[in-house]
């Protein structure tokens, strides 16, 4: 993977840096069908526009922030992949709508957003995530934290997978076989989770107070018709019908939305 030295931007992806960081863009080749945007230095990077390829984060040390401000990333080898560094922060500016998709062709990175380092999501914007291979968002052997944002996640396996998952804020609409890894150490201090079946039907939303009550009272799930247990178990319905995210999804992408 590291042998790939070219940076290929397809469409109109704009990468800008906050002034404190020095970075040079090289080898822009929009004729290629896929490309790699390599980030090898710590710092803050603003991504706007469309990229057909992978944002590959490998600074070896230090923190990287990706500000997704109208970014549309379509990756055949993973959409956003972080393999080294201290932390990865993904910031969604207020009012921004972003999309990260992966085709499922690469088995090494089994998610649209894949990270091997502690990862934090924050901001007030919206992010659509589609993982066609296995997972939507996967943080492997590291901690994943959400401090805000609105997320619509689709995947055939796990919507969000991490060994340690902290939800401080945010709205999550998840359509997957399992919304979360049932073995994850989940801390829910805030936010709202809405599980969506394959039919497009949304279950009642789960907030932090409901999750805490479920943890404290083993009969809580039964008393509320077991809907909360579906957040950690396989979807039961497989019939095909039109549906969506119960009108609580983020706003549509400008080019046609979340598909």
Q: How many CB atoms lie within 10 A of CB 80?
A: 30
pLDDT at 1: 43
pLDDT at 216: 62
pLDDT at 199: 59
Q: What whole-number distance in Å separates Cα of residue 87 and Cα of residue 117?
A: 6
Q: What whole-number distance in Å separates Cα of residue 17 and Cα of residue 41?
A: 11
Write out pLDDT tens, residues 89-99.
Answer: 999 999 999 99
Strand 14-17 to 43-57 pairing: antiparallel
Q: Give the chain's residues under pLDDT 70.
A: 1-35, 106-107, 197-204, 213-259
- pTM listed for this prediction: 0.75
């Amino acid at each position: 993977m590291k042998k790939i030295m070219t940076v290929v931007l397809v469409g109109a992806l704009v990468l800008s840096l906050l002034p404190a960081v020095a970075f040079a863009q090289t080898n822009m080749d929009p004729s290629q069908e896929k490309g790699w945007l390599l980030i090898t230095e710590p710092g803050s990077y603003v991504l706007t526009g469309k990229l057909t390829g992978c944002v590959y984060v490998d600074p070896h040390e230090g923190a990287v922030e990706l500000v997704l401000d109208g970014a549309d990333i379509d990756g055949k080898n993973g959409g956003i992949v972080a393999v080294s560094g201290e932390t990865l922060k993904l910031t969604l500016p207020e009012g921004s709508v972003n999309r990260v998709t992966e085709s499922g062709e690469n088995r090494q990175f089994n998610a649209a957003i894949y990270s091997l380092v502690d990862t934090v999501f924050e901001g007030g914007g919206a992010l659509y995530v589609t993982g066609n291979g296995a997972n939507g968002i996967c943080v492997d052997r590291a901690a994943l934290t959400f401090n805000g944002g609105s997320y619509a996640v689709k995947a055939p396996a796990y919507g969000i997978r991490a060994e340690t998952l902290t939800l401080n804020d945010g709205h999550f609409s998840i359509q997957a076989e399992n919304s979360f890894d049932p073995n994850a150490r989940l801390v829910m201090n805030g936010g709202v989770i809405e599980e969506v079946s394959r039919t497009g039907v949304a279950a009642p939303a789960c907030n932090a107070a409901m999750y805490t009550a479920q943890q404290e009272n083993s009969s809580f799930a039964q008393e509320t018709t077991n809907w909360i247990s579906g957040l950690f178990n396989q979807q039961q319905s497989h019939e095909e019908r039109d549906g969506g995210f119960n009108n609580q999804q983020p706003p549509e992408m400008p080019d046609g939305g979340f598909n």
